[in-house]
Amino acid sequence: MVARPCFRIVVAASALLALSARVALVHAQPVTSEQADTQRIEDLVIANHILADQNILDAWGHVSIRSARNPKRFYLSRSLAPGLVKAADIMEYDEDSKPVDPGGRALYLERFIHGEVYRARPDVQAVVHSHSPAVIPFSMTGVPLRMAFLLGAFLGSGAPVFEIRGAAGNASNMQVTDQSRGAALAKRLGSAEIVLMRGHGDTVVGPTIKVAVARAVYAEANARIQMDAIRLGRPVYFTDGEAATLKKMEDEERSVIRPWELWKAQAQRRMAAP
Amino acid sequence: MVARPCFRIVVAASALLALSARVALVHAQPVTSEQADTQRIEDLVIANHILADQNILDAWGHVSIRSARNPKRFYLSRSLAPGLVKAADIMEYDEDSKPVDPGGRALYLERFIHGEVYRARPDVQAVVHSHSPAVIPFSMTGVPLRMAFLLGAFLGSGAPVFEIRGAAGNASNMQVTDQSRGAALAKRLGSAEIVLMRGHGDTVVGPTIKVAVARAVYAEANARIQMDAIRLGRPVYFTDGEAATLKKMEDEERSVIRPWELWKAQAQRRMAAP
Amino acid sequence: MVARPCFRIVVAASALLALSARVALVHAQPVTSEQADTQRIEDLVIANHILADQNILDAWGHVSIRSARNPKRFYLSRSLAPGLVKAADIMEYDEDSKPVDPGGRALYLERFIHGEVYRARPDVQAVVHSHSPAVIPFSMTGVPLRMAFLLGAFLGSGAPVFEIRGAAGNASNMQVTDQSRGAALAKRLGSAEIVLMRGHGDTVVGPTIKVAVARAVYAEANARIQMDAIRLGRPVYFTDGEAATLKKMEDEERSVIRPWELWKAQAQRRMAAP
Amino acid sequence: MVARPCFRIVVAASALLALSARVALVHAQPVTSEQADTQRIEDLVIANHILADQNILDAWGHVSIRSARNPKRFYLSRSLAPGLVKAADIMEYDEDSKPVDPGGRALYLERFIHGEVYRARPDVQAVVHSHSPAVIPFSMTGVPLRMAFLLGAFLGSGAPVFEIRGAAGNASNMQVTDQSRGAALAKRLGSAEIVLMRGHGDTVVGPTIKVAVARAVYAEANARIQMDAIRLGRPVYFTDGEAATLKKMEDEERSVIRPWELWKAQAQRRMAAP
């Protein structure tokens, strides 16, 4: 009966999806840091696909998560377009952004963004670097990217912009390809949640990977709304009090459960497609 | 014969779809309010998916329908991205926006938008709250969103904007998270069909859910056309007579049968996909 | 053997697609006007789906083709979103835009656009009426839509705009819902290939349905390019000689074989999807 | 057993995909120029589909690759929308843009773009001609298209614009339909990597087809970012040193492995879909 294997594969795939959905929802019991890292790697793979689906990462950019087992380390894919990343592509990096087990694989040139941000910001559990297209004009015109709608509270009243000339000179490749450039970027980030990179893109951080992913998505959405509002008239922005209240809500993972569930379902549907 | 179950499932799914299509078309005979509510819940699920497909609702926003059985009550999903809503997620709320049977489920924080609008506007049968991206710039620049093409008659010569500071103070979370804020929003809505919410989005109402859904879609389309027209030159808008004539047509459900059928077919195709 | 019917349906569908592709390519031998009308109806169904796929027609707008058997008549779908149209939905209309055999079906309110354009323009074989969103701003700002790239030659140095107030008064529904309004629209069209309709959309004509469909698609593309160019600087348009040379090429059906084949393949793929 | 053929076809298609993926990765051993041309034709088919997927080529435009066996010749599809091109559609052209074996097939009218660019630029291995929509406004307003983000280094500080009136007179069809127009275009291109064509589109070249494809995609992305930046404020562009450093990186094929792999996977998925 030739059709049988096909049917079994479908069943197996459905079971796997159901299982992974269940795993993601069962958070209540205490987990070991080993278990936590298994979960983090699973979330990191999904985060790669979500950011590809949402048009934040295309062939470029990357997303990482800090290790729970060893908080000086982090997980990041080998050099690969995020939309193609599988669990087997995830590598562990040490605090100097060196792979623990290189295995002869090509590495992201800008992995130092991640290592240096984790070093400078113990509160950060996840980092996204992207070429978010609507954000780039704000990186090169002196017009500050700022909270322009409810979901942009992490932008505050003007996101910092990193000018790499200070760290890399006047004729660099503009990229964060070593520790010193990573440290300079982390310094410019300071205590903010996003730093724009002139003519290049941005780096977003979060207290969890779900928050970091949502911020990366909403930075782009906020930039489009802000550009439209500026072209239309004189925008009224948020009061400091409103911004602070919304920022506090936005910091908590429960504020992003709804988008994460939606985007994950969409990513899993695409990943399971033939 | 291993392939059999697969085939049967396909048949069953097709039959269900055919059935639901039939149910939606057979309106002629008198229906009890029980039957009407079954139909309303079915339409509400489809409305959630249509608004997700049309990029009006993403992870956020929600759509509700008034109960036919008990017009003080309304139906609304538990807290969930609209693109994931199934019939089992729909809950019944009373006039104070309290769930009749909470069942331990998470609720939309801004459910009070719905309850207070239904209280203030007996003519309204459905409410959509969204973060419609092209509408937001009009909520924060003083430039009124107004009818800019044939399908925007419900916008009139300038949609009202709700400034939440009056109801919630200068440092609020900007959201309609209690009855008093809901009442203030409903008051600003007045007898209009849409109210913009500063830096946040909008709320649209309708005499039927099909009309409300179409209005939510065309508010976004109208906003884009209006922005383009303003950037291009000095737009000529509609006469009061034209606006009134078109508004009268637009109020009737038969004016939206064609889009509803198309959007429903698209939503059902996506919902039935593996 | 339960799986058999499924397989046979797939085979049958593939055969049909292959057949219709073959039919479309075999043009060489002389055809009777009966055969020609069969082909025209087939092309009209595809045109509906192409214009839906290309985002020119959504729930609204319609496309028609003149009858070869009786050139005073034309074919047009019953009232239905173009993306849902099948051969069985196509109806024959007489020169007064009355259906030859109404069969109790709902009709497009603006069918008079088609009838009156066919009456006034014997050279026209197909008509598209749409709410093309980038075209609408040109209908209401006094800025003429004109040829802004190679594929916009049919726009000439400024498309005519139809102001319906002359024909329908100051408080109309803005729609071409009777013969006199249709005649007024046709008069404003004159010998042009497109007429914009203030705050509403446009009507495009062509010597074949393939040319008319391509014009409807490129009117939208041209409008976006022209808006971008106007925002960027002072556009240099085409010389009269260039425009005339390109217009002559564009009039011939062979100039649109390539897009028609592509769009048709895309439409058929979607139409055949489960 | 009726379902069998279906299953076998699926297996065969998967095997083919796996094989072609393997072929693309095994580059290490020395290849004959015959083998190289087989690979080039395979890459050319993929390039057609990538450029269609990325919305750079629609029904129009084309991409070619130089022959490795005979560098005076090049490969280019017969006249066909790029999204429909298969290996059997690829034809070999000589240095005068004449097909070596016409086989009665329709040819792209603007094939002379390719032949004359290959003649003038021995370093060029691939050529893309497109109607890239965001690039066209820069071709007709005097505002130079220039490097506005990291991936636009090949644009330098202002891309040359080809005014065809010099070669074709004041009433031409604007198209590069003979050798002399092709030579004039190649002359305007000079040593640049892109030349804009007034009111028409652009032509992009590369030292490999992967680099040329990436440039075509990033020219469009850069144009959108540059338009947005100009509308937002006064853009800060790149220093000459930065531009030179990035240009040197961008010239090398390894800089585009990541996008090519992603885009190829996406194109193959679509090509394999029913």
pLDDT tens profile D127-140: 999 999 999 999 99
B69 pLDDT higher than 50: yes
User: Could you report how far apart the first and last alpha carbons of chain D are, in Å?
Assistant: 22
Distance from CA of B32 to the nearest CA of A (A): 36
pLDDT at A273: 80
Neighbours of chain B (3+ CB pairs under 8 A): A, C
Q: Which residue of A has its CA nearest to B224?
A: A228
Catalytically active residues of B are 110
**Could you tell me if C44 and C209 are in contact, meaning their C-beta atoms sit under 8 angstroms apart?**
yes
- Reply yes or no on whether A42 is catalytic: no
Q: In the structure, how many helices (H) and strands (E) does chain A have? A: 9, 7
Residue with tokens 């950011």, as numbered in its chain: A51
**Alpha carbon of B199 to those of A33, A147, A239, B135, B156: distances in Å?**
41, 9, 11, 10, 21
Neighbours of chain A (3+ CB pairs under 8 A): B, D
Q: How many CB atoms lie within 10 A of CB B16?
A: 12
C88 pLDDT higher than 90: yes
List phi, psi (to 5°) of B110: -100, 30
**Which of the four pLDDT bands, split at 50, 70 and 90, describes residue D86?**
very high
Q: Which residue of A has its CA nearest to D226?
A: A137
Contact with chain A for residue D16, Cβ under 8 A: no
Which of A149, A245, A261 has the CB atom closest to B136's CB atom?
Answer: A149
Give all strands of the β-sheet with C74-77 in edge-to-edge order. C90-93, C74-77, C62-66, C126-130, C201-206, C194-197, C161-162
Residue with tokens 């895309």, as numbered in its chain: C266
CA–CA distance, A231 with A222 (Å, rounded to integer) = 14
Chain D residues touching A2 at Cβ < 8 A: 1, 3-4, 7-8
pLDDT at A150: 95
pLDDT at D28: 53
Task: For residue B145, give the DSSP letter.
Answer: P
B200 pLDDT higher than 50: yes
D191 pLDDT higher than 80: yes
Question: Higher confidence at residue B23 or residue C91?
Answer: C91
**Those residues with Cβ within 8 angstroms of residue A184's Cβ, 6 or more apart along the chain or in another chain:** A162, A164, A166, A167
Question: Higher confidence at residue C41 or residue C24?
Answer: C41
C19 pLDDT higher than 60: no
> What average pLDDT score do residues B141-166 get?
97
C9 pLDDT higher than 50: no
pLDDT at D16: 38
Percent of chain D with pLDDT over 90: 84
CA D48, D53, D54, D59: dihedral to nearest 10 degrees?
A: 60
Tens of pLDDT, residues B77-111: 999 999 999 999 999 999 999 999 999 999 999 99
**Which of the four pLDDT bands, split at 50, 70 and 90, describes residue C210?**
very high
Residue with tokens 């017969």, as numbered in its chain: D78
Return the amino acid letter for C102.
P
Mean pLDDT of chain A: 90
CA A73 to the chain's CA centroid: 16
Percent of chain C with pLDDT over 90: 84
Pairing of strands B74-77, B62-66: antiparallel
A20 pLDDT higher than 60: no
**Could you tell me if C61 and C129 are in contact, meaning their C-beta atoms sit under 8 angstroms apart?**
yes
> What average pLDDT score do residues D252-257 get?
91
Question: Higher confidence at residue C228 or residue B27?
Answer: C228
Mean pLDDT is lowest, of C31-40, C55-64, D207-216, for C31-40
Q: In the structure, how many helices (H) and strands (E) does chain D have? A: 9, 7
Which of B58, B140, B171 has the CB atom closest to A242's CB atom?
Answer: B171
pLDDT at B33: 87
**Those residues with Cβ within 8 angstroms of residue A8's Cβ, 6 or more apart along the chain or in another chain:** B2
Mean pLDDT of chain D: 90
Mean pLDDT is lowest, of A131-135, D19-23, D95-99, for D19-23
B68 pLDDT higher than 90: yes
Q: What is the pTM of this model?
A: 0.89
C10 pLDDT higher than 80: no
Binary contact (A258, B3; C-beta < 8 A): no
Tens of pLDDT, residues A108-145: 999 999 999 999 999 999 999 999 999 999 999 999 99
Angle at C68 between CA C65 and CA C69, to 5 degrees: 130
pLDDT at C22: 41
**Could you tell me if C154 and C217 are in contact, meaning their C-beta atoms sit under 8 angstroms apart?**
no
Mean pLDDT is lowest, of C9-18, D68-77, D183-192, D211-220, for C9-18
Neighbours of chain D (3+ CB pairs under 8 A): A, C
D interface mutation test: which of A136, A143, A165 has the most D CBs within 10 A?
A136
> What average pLDDT score do residues C153-173 get?
96
Binary contact (C140, B239; C-beta < 8 A): no
Chain D residues touching A143 at Cβ < 8 A: 232-233
> What average pLDDT score do residues D97-118 get?
97
Residue with tokens 């893309």, as numbered in its chain: D128
pLDDT at D21: 40
pLDDT at A31: 79
Percent of chain B with pLDDT over 90: 84
Percent of chain A with pLDDT over 70: 89
**Could you tell me if A255 and B182 are in contact, meaning their C-beta atoms sit under 8 angstroms apart?**
no
**Alpha carbon of B142 to those of A149, A230, D156: distances in Å?**
15, 12, 41
CA–CA distance, B118 with B129 (Å, rounded to integer) = 13
Mean pLDDT of chain B: 90
Tens of pLDDT, residues D221-249: 999 999 999 999 999 999 999 999 999 99
A93 pLDDT higher than 80: yes
C37 pLDDT higher than 80: yes
**Could you tell me if B229 and C141 are in contact, meaning their C-beta atoms sit under 8 angstroms apart?**
yes
pLDDT at D10: 33
Which residues of chain D from 60 to 79 reach within 8 Å of chain C, CB to CB? 60, 79
**Which of the four pLDDT bands, split at 50, 70 and 90, describes residue D33?**
confident
Residue in C24, C19, C42, C47 with CA at minimum distance from that of residue C263: C47
Buried b (16+ CB within 10 A) or exposed e, D194-224: bbbbbbbbbbbbbbbbbbbbbbbbbbbbbbb
Q: Which helix (H) or strand (E) holds D4?
A: helix D4-25
**Which of the four pLDDT bands, split at 50, 70 and 90, describes residue B224?**
very high
Percent of chain D with pLDDT over 70: 89
Rg (CA), chain D: 19
B112 pLDDT higher than 80: yes
Rg (CA), chain C: 19
pLDDT at A28: 53
pLDDT at A174: 96
CA–CA distance, C258 with C99 (Å, rounded to integer) = 34
CA–CA distance, A100 with A67 (Å, rounded to integer) = 12
**Alpha carbon of C30 to those of C72, C254, D37: distances in Å?**
22, 18, 44
**Could you tell me if A155 and A247 are in contact, meaning their C-beta atoms sit under 8 angstroms apart?**
no
B142 token code pair: 């003083």
Tens of pLDDT, residues A185-201: 999 999 999 999 999 99
This model of the complex carries an ipTM of 0.88
